[in-house]
Amino acid sequence: MDCVFKNCQFIESQISLRTEFFRTLFMNSQFSSVDFSFTFLFDCEFMEINLTKIKFKGTSILNPKTENVTFNDLEVDKLYSIRVLEV
């Protein structure tokens, strides 16, 4: 992995538009009221994380690896839907 976020809390945050995460590990972390709109996540791993009240407008996730991920109150957009792809 190129970058690791371990035991982190992201609360009421907004990721800059068009932010790109490559080969990033998110582990044992909590995300609450975070805006991931138009974010690109490629070859990322999500292990033991909790996602609550997350915005995924136009977000692209390619080749995700997940383990024990909890989702609550996710917000997606009909026009700019979230894309999850295996390539």
pLDDT tier at 16, thresholds 50, 70, 90? confident
Q: How many domains does the chain have?
A: 1
Q: Which structural domain range is residue 75 located in?
A: 3-85
| Domain CATH for 19 | 2.160.20.80
Burial class (CB in 10 A: 0-12, 13-18, 19+), 86: exposed
In 1-87 the beta strands, taken as DSSP E runs, fall at 3-6, 9-14, 20-22, 24-27, 30-35, 40-42, 45-52, 60-62, 65-72, 83-85
Residue entry with tokens 């894309």:
83
Residue 14: the pLDDT is 84
Residue 17: the pLDDT is 80
Residue 86: the pLDDT is 87
Decide if pLDDT at 1 tops 80: no
Pick the closest to residue 35 from 49, 61, 17, 48 (CA basis): 17
